[in-house]
């Protein structure tokens, strides 16, 4: 299970590097990989060239900026949301201006 937390200031959680050009604020995690985080993609970041698939359910809410799905040829913007079942293909992604995402994995 994810760790339990009462309300706290998200701004008190430090930004840490996830992968180059993507930083994160880990809000809660569990030993089995479940997490809730804020992910920040720097301008010009891309996720690679491969379609993404993973073994967990994922919810993503775009808080700031925009993100383009290169396979779909569609750009998603602030206020848009995705829910992905395990194994659902998505991406690869690119952001020109950068973006900030709320991501929940379980």
In a domain? residue 3: no
In a domain? residue 9: no
pLDDT single digits (tens) 21-31: 999 999 999 99
pLDDT value of residue 39: 98
Low-confidence ranges of the chain (pLDDT < 70): none
CATH number at residue 97: 2.60.120.10
Domain membership of residue 68 as a residue range:
15-105
pLDDT value of residue 3: 82
- Number of domains observed in the structure of the chain: 1
In a domain? residue 5: no
Full DSSP string of 35-94 = EEEEEEEPTT-B--SSPB--SS-EEEEEEEEEEEETTTTEEEETT-EEEE-TT--B--EE
In a domain? residue 73: yes
pTM assigned to the model: 0.91
């Amino acid at each position: 299970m994810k760790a339990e937390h009462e309300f706290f200031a998200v701004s008190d959680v430090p930004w840490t590097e996830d992968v180059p050009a993507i930083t994160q604020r880990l809000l809660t995690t569990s030993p089995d990989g479940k997490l809730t985080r804020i992910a920040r993609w720097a301008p010009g970041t891309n996720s690679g060239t491969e379609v993404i698939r993973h073994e967990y359910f994922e919810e993503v809410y775009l808080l700031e900026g925009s993100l383009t799905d290169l396979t779909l040829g569609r750009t998603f913007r602030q206020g848009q949301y995705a829910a992905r079942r395990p194994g659902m293909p998505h991406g690869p992604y690119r952001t020109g201006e950068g973006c900030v995402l709320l991501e929940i994995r379980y």
